[in-house]
Amino acid sequence: MSRIGKLPIDLPKGVQVTVSKGNLVTVKGPQGELTQQVDSEIGVKVENDQIVLTRPTDQKRHKAMHGLYRSLAKNMVIGVTEGYEIKQELVGVGFRATVNGQVLELSLGYSHSIYLGIPPEVKVEAVAERRANPIITLKSADKQLIGQVAAKIRSFRKPEPYKGKGIKFVGEQLRRKAGKAAAS
């Protein structure tokens, strides 16, 4: 049984949810508006300031979709009320990040700079203080999109296990390896 799918989603004040034909769920709130197409076999109802999702049978496929779409709806409600934020740290000598509009410029020790266009739904900010690693902050209402952008940024220079150089999430614990042992 899907324990996640059975839970109703409470709607905070200021959040409006509409379910149109074809199970298109639209959530509007102070941070923006998000839409999600829900499978036609999953029922979506808005009643008593709650979103309730139902499934037709207890087949494994229906149980999986029930929990999935409930989680996606919950993420949309959180996104339009509070929003999501991801911070990434650039660890390495000479690593820099600058923002020009919606273009992020990264200097990561390669012979060239990397330019990444950020989608308009994501707000990006780069802070570089003296004697501290530069930090990139991403903010958005869409959890999936912000995660995808963060993963793309990280893919340019993943943290290596010996010195820890690369792009890591703030607070992330890296598994470090010992270097070569000195011959005696």
d(CA 85, CA 72): 17
By the 10 Å C-beta count (0-12 exposed, 13-18 middle, 19+ buried), 100 is classed as: exposed
pLDDT tens digit sequence for 96-105: 999 999 999 9
pLDDT at residue number 1? 43
Show me where the domains of the chain are located. Answer: 3-81, 84-169
CATH among 3.90.930.12, 3.40.50.300, 3.30.720.110, 2.60.40.3710 for 3-81: 3.90.930.12
d(CA 48, CA 91): 49
Do the two domains 3-81 and 84-169 of this chain adopt the same fold?
yes
pLDDT tens digit sequence for 68-94: 999 999 999 999 999 999 999 999 999
Both tokens of 148, joined, read 């995808």
Edge-to-edge, what's the strand order for the sheet holding 114-117?
96-100, 103-107, 114-117
> By the 8 A CB rule, do 177 and 162 touch?
yes
pLDDT band at 182 (very low <50, low <70, confident <90, very high): low
pTM for the whole structure: 0.89
Task: Supply φ then ψ for residue 102, to 5 degrees.
Answer: -110, 25
CATH superfamily of the 84-169 domain: Ribosomal protein L6 (3.90.930.12)
The answer, yes or no, to whether residue 49 has pLDDT greater than 70, is: yes
